Amino acid sequence: MRTMAERGWWKSSDDDIADVAEAFEAEHTEGEPVPSFDATDEDAQVRDALGIVIGVSAGLIVLLSVAVVLLWLWAGMEGVNIGGPPSSLLTWEEEYRDLTGLNDVEGDGTGVVLCIVDSGIDLGHPDLGQLELAGWMDAVDGLEQPYDNEGHGTAMAGIIVAQDGLQGIAPGVSLLVAKAIGEEGTGSDDQIADAVDWCVEQQADVISLSLGGDQGFGSGFFSTDALEQAAEDAIDEGVYVVAAAGNDGEDDDGDVESPGSVEDVICVGGITRYGNIWVGSSEGDNNGRIWPNPILPRDDPDKKPELVAPGHEVPVLMAGGLESGTWWGWSSGTSAATAWVSGALAVVLEAHPEMQREGPSGGAGAVAQMKAVIMENSQMKDGQSEHDDHNGYGHLRVDLLLQALGNSSDDSSEFEASADSTSERPLTDELQVARRSTARVPPVNSTKPSE
């Protein structure tokens, strides 16, 4: 005979035994039937409930996955940006703005024409959605629509004109972009020189050259280098030419790169967020040399580099469609420092239109005056009292430049260019075949996505 335990009515608990005993007593005394205590019914109910929970959860996961995919597809088709720059990039950006005094001044470069010569620009970037490009030139492929198949140019442009995610230094400038750097990150002398000439023709006030290469033979005495000649011609027209010092600081060849080596070009080295020199920033040779390429000793305010600016882990825009797969990243190199100074000059020139190219005091003399102001009003490192071959005359301080010039054009004294401020173009027009590469972080890229 099977016992009740064998029939599965209970599992040997005292409470279950008492319940069944009461049930039998009730059956005999009151005629009530004994209830069924079949555990299989209870197990079935648990299984049914568990199945419902699993089914609902799986359905929710599927719906969520579908929603994410649809949102991603919609964002891709409509150009909608989901999210924004990582908080670390925003923090670094703010630290650099504080370091350079940018947060203590007003202005966004409105009324200033700034030309970037680089690898192009990706106007599809979400931080460039408000940008109306003032002009475009492609010296590489001759295409009519702006593009950037290398990414460096978009990164540099973002430092100056980004809005919404990162915040550019001078988003109000009229921006010209000349593509002279190809997909491999290099461009020939004649391409870059043609791009500089185009910037001048388009009435640029500032030309930003985040690139560099070997100096032309005889640089400092005379130049056979097409790009150096183009930079000199631009300065003679009253254009502020800003160029990178170079990134060979860990294996320095002894001087800054060309065209930053040109006397009146504003050459820029790089620093970290703590104001220390970035390890890759190139040093200048200001004592002169005979070999391997003769150069004259440099005098104030033209010693190289003239100043240093943000050049380590600088927040930048990443061109879409490249390998990074993200819109924002960081860049280390004197390229970024060059863009910072170019944007800062636009802010200064907005406050002092008389020093712009077409201003009443514009011209080569205005460029010389600006360099003197930079020499006297950059922030030197502790213990520094004169030009340093790495730190220049100090790091960029936009607020001090504006204070030195006066807060508005009405406070600034006018000056005129000296009669001998222009220089003759060298007799030779031979174009150099040497390649120039955009300033990079050793050993490969200058832009990295933020993780």
Catalytic site positions: 118, 152, 335
- Helix, strand, coil percentages for the chain (3-state, nearest 5): 35, 15, 50
User: What does the DSSP assignment read for 313-374?
Assistant: SEEEE--TTSTT-SSEEEE-SHHHHHHHHHHHHHHHHHH-GGGSTTSTT-SHHHHHHHHHHH
Spatial CB neighbours of 272, under 8 Å, sequence gap ≥ 6: 278, 311, 312, 313
In the beta sheet, which residues pair with residue 115?
176, 207
Q: Which of 293, 219, 297 is nearest to 261 (CA)?
A: 219
- Supply 241's token pair: 């030419």
> Residues 63, 68, 72, 73: what is their CA dihedral angle, to the nearest 10 degrees?
-10
Using an 8 Å Cβ cutoff, are 108 and 163 in contact?
A: no
306/186 Cα distance (integer angstroms): 25
The widest CA-to-CA distance across the chain, in whole angstroms, is 129
First-to-final CA distance of the chain: 72
Which position has the token pair 């703005």?
A: 97
326/208 Cα distance (integer angstroms): 25
Q: Estimate to the nearest angstrom the gap between the alpha carbon of 393 and the chain centroid.
A: 24
438/182 Cα distance (integer angstroms): 10
202/211 Cα distance (integer angstroms): 21
331/338 Cα distance (integer angstroms): 12
304/286 Cα distance (integer angstroms): 7
Amino acid (one-letter) located at 114:
L
